[in-house]
Amino acid sequence: MENSTELSTFTRLTSVSSINFTKNFSSQPLRIDVTYLIFSITTSFLGLIGNSIVLLVIMLNYQKSKKSIATHYIASLALSDLLVSLIYSPTTILQSVYRGYWIMGAFLCYFSRYSRFIAMFASMLTLTMIAFDRYQAICKPLQCTRTVVRTRKIILFIWLTSCVICSPDLFLMDYSRETRYPVHNTSYLCRFGLKTGLLFQEVYTLLRSVILFYGPCGIVIVCYGRIICELLHNDKIFKCKQVNYLKKRQEKKKVAMLMIFITVFFTCTWAIYWTYSVYYRINRPAHISEIYGLIYWMAWIPSLSSAVNPFLYAFYGQQFRSQFKGRIKKSQSTLSSKTRSSGAFRSFIWNRNHSSK
């Protein structure tokens, strides 16, 4: 019984760190396991469905979407969120169900973590470019060189850069057979940094957090800080300007506020994750029992942004709402016309049969 309790907690932690095994564990309460699974499955499902709908609406309205710079950035964010919900979330759920053991093979062991950081960095870089784009459009409109072609090149650069910068994770993961406390003959573990020393893990985590999160986050804060100051200042100066100018400025302000809200939510969720990751690497606890509850939730707090972002587009983005409603109405009209055509055809057949009699 003691060994099974140790194994339960140990295997949950092996995918997060290579911390040494200890006997001072306590088992995870069942209600915590159930709550965690419900939360993780719900966020994964919402992220998968919501981001799929966002991308579908953008593709179905391609003629309008291809002319909008903001829509291109939203598509990039939705794609990164979909990547998290489609690959990382399901593998993490299965790993939790199997008490930390990895049943999905070597490829997904390496690729699931790699895809998560690609998606996270691509999202952060996209939000950084959105902030810079909004800053240029509102604070320096005469110097702004915003074009759809340029935006597409920027998004391509973002994804290629993310793939390259996150590539070390492919070589730092360790997929190996569990030999100390195997549940069965094919018990495998998927762990990070097992082949490296503690000092390397600390330095690597710190550098990665600065490059992938804190650095871009600082740029975003500066850009949006300037935007807010500009909007507050110009609202006082241009109160009596012509209607068209004010209307156009209101549209820019609304887009900026949507992006600010998305950025704040993304930053808050990932700030918790990165701050904890750095703190944990530098100040390791004496006993794993002190942190096993936190490790559960640290793996899933960032996924909240992937699940919530589509609803932000839907409830706050007027352009997205109008496109979505337009597709619904078009589908309803197509369905009703097909129903009427089918009814008319059945009526024609019925009348012809009765007339022949």
pTM score of the predicted model: 0.73
Q: What is the pLDDT of residue 240?
A: 47
* Domain assignment of residue 338, yes or no: no
* Domain assignment of residue 299, yes or no: yes
Q: What beta strand segments (E) does 170-237 contain?
A: 173-177, 188-192
What is the DSSP secondary structure assignment for residue 22, as one 8-state letter?
Answer: -
**pLDDT (mean) for 79-90:** 86
The CATH number given to whatever domain includes residue 110 is 1.20.1070.10
* Domain assignment of residue 340, yes or no: no
**Residue 191 CB contacts under 8 Å (≥ 6 apart), including other chains:** 14, 15, 17, 18, 173, 174, 176
265, 308 contact by CB (below 8 A): yes
* Domain assignment of residue 200, yes or no: yes
Collapsing DSSP to helix, strand or coil, 170 comes out as helix
213, 39 contact by CB (below 8 A): no
Tell me how far apart the alpha carbons of residues 223 and 234 are, in angstroms, rounded to a whole number: 16
**Residue 129 CB contacts under 8 Å (≥ 6 apart), including other chains:** 73, 154, 158
Where residue 354 falls among pLDDT bands split at 50, 70, 90? Answer: low
Does the structure show a pLDDT above 70 at 53?
yes
Give the residue carrying structure tokens 């055809």: 345
Note the pLDDT tens digit of each residue in 207-246.
888 988 899 989 988 888 888 887 777 655 455 455 555 5
* Domain assignment of residue 354, yes or no: no
The most confident of 106-120, 165-179, 265-279, 311-325, by mean pLDDT: 106-120
* Domain assignment of residue 262, yes or no: yes
Exposed (0-12), middle (13-18) or buried (19+): which is 164, by Cβ within 10 Å? Answer: exposed
234, 141 contact by CB (below 8 A): no
Tell me which residue range forms the domain holding 216: 2-327
Give the residue carrying structure tokens 């800053």: 135
Where residue 3 falls among pLDDT bands split at 50, 70, 90? Answer: very low
CA 316-230-74 angle, to 5 degrees, is 30
Q: What is the pLDDT of residue 314?
A: 62
* Domain assignment of residue 351, yes or no: no
Does the structure show a pLDDT above 90 at 62?
no
Tell me how far apart the alpha carbons of residues 190 and 192 are, in angstroms, rounded to a whole number: 7
Does the structure show a pLDDT above 90 at 159?
yes
What is the DSSP secondary structure assignment for residue 179, as one 8-state letter?
Answer: -
What is the DSSP secondary structure assignment for residue 19, as one 8-state letter?
Answer: P
Tell me how far apart the alpha carbons of residues 68 and 62 are, in angstroms, rounded to a whole number: 10
Tell me how far apart the alpha carbons of residues 243 and 237 are, in angstroms, rounded to a whole number: 14
Q: Which two tokens stand for residue 124?
A: 């952060």
Q: What is the pLDDT of residue 122?
A: 92
Domain tally, the chain? 1
Lowest-pLDDT choice from 29-38, 118-127, 157-166, 342-351: 342-351
Give the residue carrying structure tokens 């997060």: 16
* Domain assignment of residue 353, yes or no: no
Residues forming beta bridges with residue 189, ordered by sequence position: 176
